[in-house]
């Protein structure tokens, strides 16, 4: 019983292959380490479910041929088929790998340079490193140092390669020559061992002694290292020599002896003419050529054909394997197929196109334009876009009347709704349904996909997204016209300008997503860049110009104009305490500096007391001999009014400029507000400053 129970638990914990996006787990696990390596021939065979040896894809009944490239053991070929390995359907089984056993090994075009570099360092007879025992132990000790990093190990490896020059082997006495790439006419992948420059005196004397013979003996000095010879050399290498050459695994894995065949579902066939003909996937076509070339070599070896014919067939197999891995290799002519590398790399490859590239719903994109009347946390969304982008809101006691009105408005009138999802999961399209009956029968628990409305959380993004502040969350503001609008102060994080730039809008679809976006990605919580803590969302362009002009010494406003400007600061929605006028007789006048003080602290209820001193660009610097006796009073008497002095949120002197209001200054006004108070105080000040424009 115990054995049976253990067997059932083992079957339950067995890894299940599925096409589902994720598999639920009963607990968390921590990855301790990860190591990348290539698969050896044995590992390819162990991971495969079928051996591919048949050059025919279909049999006489138009069924996948056994042992062919569409063998049902590797997955279902169409939606009507069934996998004979796991007995899953086309939608359930992700497929299984197969393998092709090559009659002769071939070079891997992706690791060809690594193969040549290893051969340069080893003896071509005994496979030992071309170093003396003393040098070998010294370099091995340095390579095994636990403190040695990757860059340091690469430096050690370059020194080992310099030491392993053509010389006589210290272990077997074999004279090793120069190892280099061969001519391109041999399939593009050939390795040559040239000993012509290392012939010793004995060989020359023997050649001269036999020169009078009629049958002249040849001493070949250039040898071609074929893949089978290289595989034998790599197999005889010791583990210490592999460690000395900084090889993370056995070098024989660099030579291909078995080829992994991808599962059938990822290379589907396209049937035409009532399933009488089919267009095969390009990967299937390349693999068919490999199977055919491999079969020709087997037959040539079996019949004992001439070495020249066998070698030519071997080179043909090498070219087919090169096309399978990299169809853009220089040794190939214009290939009609796309290899594995071409499917992985590039903008449309698997990594950038499928894994990193995202395709999302509830997304909008259009041209951006400025709107200083918006708060820095808001983005204006066109009504046309708001009618398409929806949010699923669940009906409750608090919002049922609002959602009923949205349902009655329908999909063409804002604020309206597009769909209703009932409690049983049925979806009702309001474009074709009776909206009055749907609004009347609306119940608690239903979900209404309503239009975007003011205050909804949206994600705003401009490409390229170079840092995390390239996408932040804003509050939606539904407005007419056709462009997305936001405050110019938020241009710096997005690196945006208004010369035709387009930006993206994403609508989170759950309450959890809205909460995360608001708390983690909100503009108000990301005013400072994480790079160095400097303020990034700050005033720019016309905001700086208007502030500089308002705070001049000769700027005065009467009561009507001063109160009008004060009402602009808070959109006439904020209580403002008027300060005592600077001039009382003959008429009450307020200065621009007083207006700026109201901007920082509009009323007595605002507990913001800003104390700040900034030297603006126009500040007249004193000479070195006068700096010793300088005082604060003398600094404020700058003839250019370039010394900005805030005391308890009152601007006493100075014309504010970029150093006070701009970005990139840790001692500016907004940086001090964030440091001494919070981001809400700085954001409120930015919103009021935007109305100066």
pLDDT tens by residue, 65-120: 999 999 999 998 888 888 999 988 888 888 999 999 999 999 999 999 999 999 99
Q: Inform me whether the pLDDT recorded for 467 exceeds 60.
A: yes
Overall size of the chain counted in residues = 693
With contact defined as beta carbons under 8 Å apart, do 447 and 509 qualify?
no
> According to the model, what pLDDT value does residue 7 have?
46
Q: Which residues of 525-559 are buried (b: 16+ CB within 10 A; e: fewer)?
A: bbbbbeeeeebbbbbbeebbebbbebbeeebbbee
- What is the chain's alpha carbon radius of gyration, rounded to the nearest angstrom? 38
> According to the model, what pLDDT value does residue 235 have?
93
Q: pLDDT > 70: what percent of the chain?
A: 89
With contact defined as beta carbons under 8 Å apart, do 336 and 105 qualify?
no
More reliable by pLDDT, 10 or 314: 314
With contact defined as beta carbons under 8 Å apart, do 450 and 501 qualify?
no
Does the bond joining 297 to the residue before it have cis omega, within 30 degrees of 0? no
3-state secondary structure of 243: helix
CATH topology (fold) of 363-518: Barwin-like endoglucanases (2.40.40)
Q: Where is mean pLDDT largest: 12-16, 411-415, 626-630? A: 411-415
Two domains, one topology: 363-518 and 542-690: no
With contact defined as beta carbons under 8 Å apart, do 190 and 68 qualify?
no
Q: Inform me whether the pLDDT recorded for 597 exceeds 60.
A: yes
Mean pLDDT of 188-200: 76
The band of 217, judged by pLDDT with boundaries at 50, 70 and 90, is: very low
Q: What is the mean pLDDT of the chain?
A: 86
When mean pLDDT is compared across 146-160, 171-185, 420-434, 672-686, the lowest value belongs to: 171-185
Convert the pLDDT of each residue in 316-331 to its tens digit. Answer: 999 999 999 998 888 7
> According to the model, what pLDDT value does residue 637 have?
76
Q: Where are the domains of the chain?
A: 56-97+268-275, 107-200+218-258, 363-518, 542-690
Distance CA 402, CA 394 (A): 12
More reliable by pLDDT, 395 or 279: 395
Q: Using the 8-state DSSP alphabet, how is residue 412 labeled?
A: T
Q: Inform me whether the pLDDT recorded for 59 exceeds 70.
A: yes
When mean pLDDT is compared across 1-15, 355-369, 554-568, 655-669, the lowest value belongs to: 1-15
Distance CA 377, CA 379 (A): 7
The band of 2, judged by pLDDT with boundaries at 50, 70 and 90, is: very low
> According to the model, what pLDDT value does residue 691 have?
80
With contact defined as beta carbons under 8 Å apart, do 292 and 55 qualify?
yes
CATH code of domain 542-690? 1.10.274.100
Global model pTM greater than 0.85: no
């Amino acid at each position: 019983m115990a054995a049976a129970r253990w067997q059932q638990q083992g079957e339950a914990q067995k890894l299940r292959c599925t096409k589902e996006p994720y598999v639920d787990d009963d607990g968390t696990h921590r990855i301790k380490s990860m190591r990348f390596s290539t698969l050896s021939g044995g590992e390819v065979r162990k991971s495969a479910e079928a051996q591919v040896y048949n050059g025919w894809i279909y049999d006489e009944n138009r069924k996948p041929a056994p042992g062919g490239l569409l063998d049902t053991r590797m997955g279902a070929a169409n939606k009507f088929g069934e996998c004979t390995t796991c007995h899953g359907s086309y939608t359930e089984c992700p497929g299984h790998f197969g393998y092709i056993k090559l009659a002769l090994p071939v070079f891997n075009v992706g690791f060809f340079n690594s193969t040549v570099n290893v051969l340069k360092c080893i003896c071509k007879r005994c496979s030992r490193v071309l170093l003396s025992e003393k040098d070998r132990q010294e370099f091995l000790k340095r390579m095994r140092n636990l403190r040695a990093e990757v860059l340091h190990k690469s430096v050690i490896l370059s020194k080992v390669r310099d030491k392993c020059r053509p010389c006589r082997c210290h272990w077997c006495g074999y004279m090793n020559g120069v190892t280099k790439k061969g001519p391109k006419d041999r399939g593009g992948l050939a390795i040559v061992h040239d000993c012509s420059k290392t012939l010793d005196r004995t060989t020359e004397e023997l050649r001269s002694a036999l020169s009078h013979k009629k049958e002249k003996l040849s001493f070949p000095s250039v040898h071609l290292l074929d893949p089978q010879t290289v595989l034998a050399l790599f197999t005889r290498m010791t583990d210490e020599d592999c460690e000395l050459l900084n090889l993370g695994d056995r070098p024989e894995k660099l030579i291909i002896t078995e080829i992994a065949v991808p599962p059938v579902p990822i290379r589907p066939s396209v049937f035409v003419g009532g399933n009488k003909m089919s267009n095969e996937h390009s990967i299937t076509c390349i693999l068919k050529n490999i199977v055919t070339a491999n079969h020709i070599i087997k037959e040539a070896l079996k019949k004992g054909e001439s070495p020249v014919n066998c070698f030519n067939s071997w080179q043909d197999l090498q070219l087919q394997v090169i096309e399978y891995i990299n169809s853009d290799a220089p040794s190939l002519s214009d290939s009609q197929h796309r290899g594995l590398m071409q499917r992985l790399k590039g903008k449309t490859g698997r990594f950038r196109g499928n894994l990193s590239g995202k395709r999302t719903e509830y997304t909008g994109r259009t041209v951006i334009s400025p709107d200083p009347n918006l708060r820095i946390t808001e983005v204006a969304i066109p009504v046309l876009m708001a009618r398409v982008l929806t949010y699923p809101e669940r009906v409750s006691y608090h919002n049922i009347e609002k959602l009923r009105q949205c349902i009655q408005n329908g999909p063409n009138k804002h604020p309206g709704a597009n769909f209703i999802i009932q409690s049983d999961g049925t979806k009702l399209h309001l474009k074709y349904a009776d909206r009055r009956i749907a609004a009347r029968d609306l119940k608690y628990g239903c979900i209404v996909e309503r239009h975007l409305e003011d205050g909804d959380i949206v994600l705003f993004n401009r490409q390229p997204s170079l840092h995390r502040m390239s996408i932040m969350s804003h509050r939606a503001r539904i407005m007419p016209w056709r462009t997305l609008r936001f405050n110019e102060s938020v241009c710096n994080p997005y690196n945006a300008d208004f010369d035709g730039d387009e930006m993206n809008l994403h609508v989170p679809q759950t309450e959890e997503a809205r909460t995360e976006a608001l708390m983690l990605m909100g503009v108000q919580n990301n005013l400072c860049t994480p790079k160095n803590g400097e303020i990034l969302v700050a005033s720019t362009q016309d905001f700086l110009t208007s502030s500089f002009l308002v705070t001049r010494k000769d700027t005065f406003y009467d009561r009507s104009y001063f109160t009008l400007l004060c009402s602009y600061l808070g959109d006439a929605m904020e209580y403002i305490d008027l300060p005592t006028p600077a001039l009382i007789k003959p008429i009450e006048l307020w200065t621009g500096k007083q207006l700026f003080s109201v901007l920082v602290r509009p009323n007595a209820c605002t507990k913001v007391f800003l104390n700040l001193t900034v030297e603006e660009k126009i500040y007249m610097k004193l000479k070195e001999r006068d700096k010793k006796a300088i005082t604060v009073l003398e600094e404020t008497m700058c003839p250019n009014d370039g010394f900005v002095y805030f005391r308890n949120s009152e601007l006493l002197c100075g014309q504010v400029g970029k150093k006070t209001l701009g970005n990139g200054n840790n001692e500016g006004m907004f940086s001090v507000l964030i440091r001494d108070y919070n981001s809400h105080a700085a954001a409120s000040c930015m919103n009021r400053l935007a109305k100066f424009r």
